[in-house]
Amino acid sequence: MKKVAIVGYAQHPILENAGALNEVELIMPVVHQLFDELGISQNNIDFTCSGSCDYLQGAAFAFVEGLSAIQTNPPIKESHVEMDAAWAMYESMLKIQMGDADTALIYGFGKSSPGRLDSIISLQMDPYYISPLWPDRVSLAAIQARVLLEKNIITPEQMITAVIEARTNSKNNKNALVTELVDKESYLASEKISSPLNEFDCPPISDGSSAMIIASEEKAYDFTDQPIFIEGIDHRIESSNIGSRDLSKPTGIMASIEQLKLEKTKFDVAELHTQFSHEVPYLQSVLNLSDVPTNLSGGPLVGNVMMCAGLDAIGKTYESLKSNDLTNGLAHASSGPCLQHNMLVHLEKKS
């Protein structure tokens, strides 16, 4: 396996409603910021890959328009995933592994404000039996939260802690959307949206974009003195039939842990794509992170740009390792209802 490293990451400030700014106008600033920081241009990029969802924009092939944010002359090699941009990074990794590229630009973008996210997300479900019922994203998450609570895998106190910590940690993240602190009393006084979840347990509707550059080991040092290496990356998907899953068993994640041999790795920091509060203690326990600083950026509970938040978890882990005296970081990205599809990324700073 070729060694591949992250050499740069930029994130647009997360907005509740980007208003008149369209997707292209959200992407351009982060890509330019990244290029300027590294002193490079699109000419230094072998492969470009984006992650977005046309349903968020409400237009077929809307992702193609996103390319208008990128210099495409002379012609570029590019691709797109109709997924979180974390998977665009995965595709870029493969491209580098195959020897087709040494450097890759990844960007993700999403505006949740123009449509009704609850309706849009329900369209990712099985189109015959589940989507026609229009299950909203909060209710689906609540089903898993209920299972985890009833099996005593997590506790209501852990959910409250996850919310309070996310708000507290938002001060570490200059791009966070939600920065107001919350205390236990106001949490408990909040009305349920879909029991057991209240508004504090759910991520905010968010607009934004992010970009990242990765490079093979040979090229990485051309960009930066301190590349952060992708030591391992693995993703697994579980059944789309939610009734056939045991929502308290993280089958896919366990397979990734085994594949990446993470059982004994001591992580210094972790960023998890946990959109709902109950997912934080659940994944902390699954990933053995009880003593590991987790979601120091606040995570998706303080800003959750669809199709970006997974890439952001990787980007925030990269930033933590880069700017602190830390060695091992774990990033997690997810997709689908009830943590159906999960990616684990083991990042390492070489001393």
Partner 1 sequence: MSEEEKKDYAESPINLEYHYTAGSATTRFLNQVKEGKIVGQSCPKCSAVYVPPRGSCPRCGVATNIEVPLTDKGCIESFTIVHIPIPGNPIVPPYVCAMIRLDGANISFLHLIQGIDVEEIRIGMRIQAVWKPKDEWTHSLENIKWFTPIDEPDVDVATLRFQES
**Interacting residues toward partner 1 by CB under 8 A:** 18-22, 24-25, 28, 31-32, 42, 55, 57-58, 65, 67-73, 111, 113-116, 119-120, 123, 127-128, 131-132
Minimum CB distance to partner 1, residue 328 (Å) = 35
Distance CA 233, CA 241 (A): 25
Decide whether 117 or 253 has the Cβ nearer to partner 1: 117
Output 69 or 257, the one with its CB closest to partner 1.
69
Nearest Cα residue to 184 out of 203, 172, 169, 168: 168
Of 17 and 186, the one with the shorter C-beta distance to partner 1 is 17
Comparison of 70 and 301: residue with beta carbon closer to partner 1: 70
Minimum distance, C-beta of residue 309 to partner 1, in the bound complex (Å): 21
State the nearest-atom distance from the C-beta of 176 to partner 1, in Å.
23
Cα 97 to the chain's mean position, in Å?
22
Least CB distance to partner 1 at residue 203 (A): 20
CB of 306 to partner 1, least distance (A): 14
Length of the chain measured in residues = 351
**Could you tell me which of 118, 87, 82, 122 has the C-alpha nearest to residue 240?**
122
Q: Detail the DSSP E strand segments found in 13-68.
A: 47-51
Select 18 or 214, whichever has its Cβ closest to partner 1: 18
* H or E element, residue 232: strand 228-237
Across-strand partners of 103?
215
DSSP at 154: S
Tell me how far, at minimum, the Cβ of 160 lies from partner 1, in Å. Answer: 34
Q: Furthest-apart CA pair in the chain: how many Å?
A: 58
Q: 345 by DSSP, 3-state: which?
A: strand
**CB 21, min distance to partner 1, A:** 6
Nearer to partner 1, 131 or 248 (CB): 131
Q: How far is the CB of 92 from partner 1 (least distance, A)?
A: 18
Kindly state the smallest distance separating residue 110's Cβ from partner 1, in Å.
13
Cα gap 277→92, rounded to integer Å: 31
User: What is residue 68's DSSP assignment?
Assistant: G
Three-state SS at 176: coil
- DSSP of 93-153: HHHHHTTS-SEEEEEEEEE-TTS-HHHHHHTTS-TTTTGGG---HHHHHHHHHHHHHHTTS
Using an 8 Å Cβ cutoff, are 79 and 137 in contact? Answer: no
Question: Which residue lies nearer to partner 1 by CB, 132 or 155?
Answer: 132
Paired tokens of 136: 């909203």
CA distance 250 to 61: 34
Q: Which is nearer to partner 1, 22 or 256 (CB)?
A: 22
Euclidean distance between CA atoms 261 and 214, whole angstroms: 23
The two structure tokens encoding residue 164: 């309070």
Q: Could you tell me the smallest distance in angstroms from the CB atom of residue 41 to partner 1?
A: 9
3-class SS at 85?
Answer: helix
Q: Which is nearer to partner 1, 48 or 144 (CB)?
A: 48
